[in-house]
Chain A
Amino acid sequence: MSASLTQDIVHGPTPPADTGWGGGDDDGGAGRGSGRAASFTGLFVLLAASTMAFAAFTSAFVVRRGLSEMDDWTGVHYPPILFLNTAILLASSLVLDISRRALKAGERGKFNFWWTAATALGILFLAGQAAAWYQLKEAGIFVSSNPASSFFYVLTAAHAFHLIGGVVALVYVDVQALRLRLGPAKRTAIDVTAIFWHFLDGLWLFLMILFYVWG
Chain B
Amino acid sequence: MSAPSHAAHQAPKSFIWKYVFSLDHKVIGIQYYLLGLFSVLVGMSLSLLMRFHMVNPTASLAWIGKLWPTAAAGGVMTPELYLSLMTMHGTIMVFFVLTTVPQGGFGNYFLPIQIGAEDMAFPVLNMMSFWTTFLALVVMISAFFVQGGAPLAGWTGYPPLSGAGPLTGPGEGAGQTLWIISIAIFCGASLMGAINFIATTVDLRCKGMTLMRMPLTCWTWLVTAILGLLGFAVLLAAGVLLILDRHAGTSFFLPGGMMINDHIIANHKGGSPLLWQHLFWFFGHPEVYIAILPGMGVTSQLLATFARKPVFGYKAMVYAILSIGFLGFLVWGHHMFMSGMNPYSAMAFATLTMCIGVPSAIKTFNWIGTLWGGQIHFTTAMLFALGFVSLFVTGGVSGIFLGQPALDLYFHDTYFVVGHFHMIMGVAAIFGMFAGTFFWFPKMFGKMLNETLGKIHFYCTFIGVYCIFTPMHLVGIAGNPRRYADFTNVEYLAKLIPVHQFMTYAAYFTASVQVIFLINLVWSWIKGPKAPANPWNCTTLEWSVPSPPPHDNFGGVHPVVYHGAYEYSVPGAAEDFIMQNDPTPLPSGD
Contacts and interface: CB of A to CB of B under 8 A. Distances in A.
Contact of A29 (B196, B533, B558): B558
B451 to A, nearest CB: 21
Contact of A38 (B121, B251, B557, B583): B121
Given A31-B7, A35-B3, A64-B252, A12 B204 contact: no
B207 interface: yes
A34 B275 CA distance: 42
A67 B251 CA distance: 12
B252 A2 contact: no
Interface in B200-248: 200, 202-213, 229-230, 232-234, 236-238, 240-241, 244, 248
Interface stretch (B161-169, B369-377, B543-551): B543-551
Given A30-B554, A154-B241, A12 B562 contact: yes
A105 interface: no
A35 to B, nearest CB: 4
A7 B560 CA distance: 11
Contacts of B271: 64, 147
Interface in A11-67: 12-13, 15-16, 18-26, 28-39, 41-42, 45-46, 48-57, 59-60, 63-64, 67
B105 interface: no
A24 B208 contact: yes
B4 A3 contact: no
Given A12-B560, A24-B205, A55 B234 contact: yes
A38 B200 contact: yes
B575 interface: yes
A209 interface: no
A68 interface: yes
A4 to B, nearest CB: 9
B1 interface: yes
Contacts of B585: 13
Given A35-B4, A147-B251, A64 B562 contact: no
A67 B327 CA distance: 28
Contact of A41 (B202, B537, B554): B202
A60 B244 contact: no
A56 to B, nearest CB: 4
B590 to A, nearest CB: 9
Contacts, number: 233
B279 interface: yes
Given A28-B207, A45-B199, A150 B250 contact: yes
A72 to B, nearest CB: 4
Given A6-B581, A29-B558, A45-B194, A34 B252 contact: no
A154 B240 contact: yes
Contact of B206 (A24, A59, A63, A144): A24
A92 B379 CA distance: 62
A18 B248 contact: no
B559 interface: yes
Contacts of B200: 38
Interface string B400-418: 0000000000000000000
Contacts of B537: 2
Given A2-B544, A23-B205, A41-B198, A34 B6 contact: yes
Interface in B501-546: 533-534, 537, 543-546
Contacts of A1: 575
Task: Identify whether the interface residues of B are mostly helix, strand, loop, or mixed.
Answer: loop
How would you classify the secondary structure of chain A's contact residues: helix, strand, loop or mixed?
Answer: helix
Contact of A184 (B1, B5, B6): B1
Contacts of B230: 48-49, 52
A46 B558 contact: no
A168 to B, nearest CB: 15
Contacts of B174: none
Nearest to B545: A6
B117 interface: yes
B579 interface: yes
Given A49-B194, A185-B3, A9 B583 contact: yes
Given A31-B117, A188-B3, A60 B275 contact: yes
A183 interface: yes
Interface in B332-383: none
A39 B232 CA distance: 21
Contact of B6 (A5, A31, A45, A55): A31
A56 B234 contact: yes
A154 B561 contact: no
A24 B211 contact: yes
Interface in B1-39: 1-7
B118 A185 contact: no
Contacts of B546: 3
B204 A34 contact: yes
A13 B584 CA distance: 8
A20 B212 contact: yes
B251 A72 contact: yes
B582 interface: yes
A21 B50 CA distance: 51
Interface string A177-192: 0000001110010000
Of B194, B207, B244, the most chain A CB neighbours within 10 A belong to B207
A81 interface: no
B584 to A, nearest CB: 8
B555 interface: yes
A110 to B, nearest CB: 23
A6 B195 contact: no
Nearest to A185: B3
A144 B250 contact: yes
Contacts of B6: 31, 34-35, 38
Contacts of B211: 20-22, 24
A31 B545 CA distance: 18
Interface string A156-173: 001000000000000000
B282 interface: yes
Contacts of B248: 143-144, 150
A10 interface: yes
A59 B252 CA distance: 12
B270 interface: yes
Given A9-B560, A57-B241, 20 more contacts: A3-B546, A9-B581, A16-B562, A18-B208, A18-B210, A22-B211, A24-B206, A24-B209, A31-B118, A32-B5, A36-B3, A42-B122, A49-B230, A51-B233, A53-B233, A56-B233, A56-B234, A60-B237, A73-B270, A154-B240
12 contacts: A15-B208, A23-B203, A30-B553, A31-B203, A45-B199, A48-B230, A55-B234, A72-B269, A143-B250, A144-B267, A147-B270, A150-B252
7 tightest A-B contacts by CB?
A20-B210, A12-B583, A144-B249, A52-B233, A56-B237, A15-B208, A38-B121
Interface of A: 1-3, 5-10, 12-13, 15-16, 18-26, 28-39, 41-42, 45-46, 48-57, 59-60, 63-64, 67-68, 71-73, 143-144, 147, 150, 154, 158, 183-185, 188
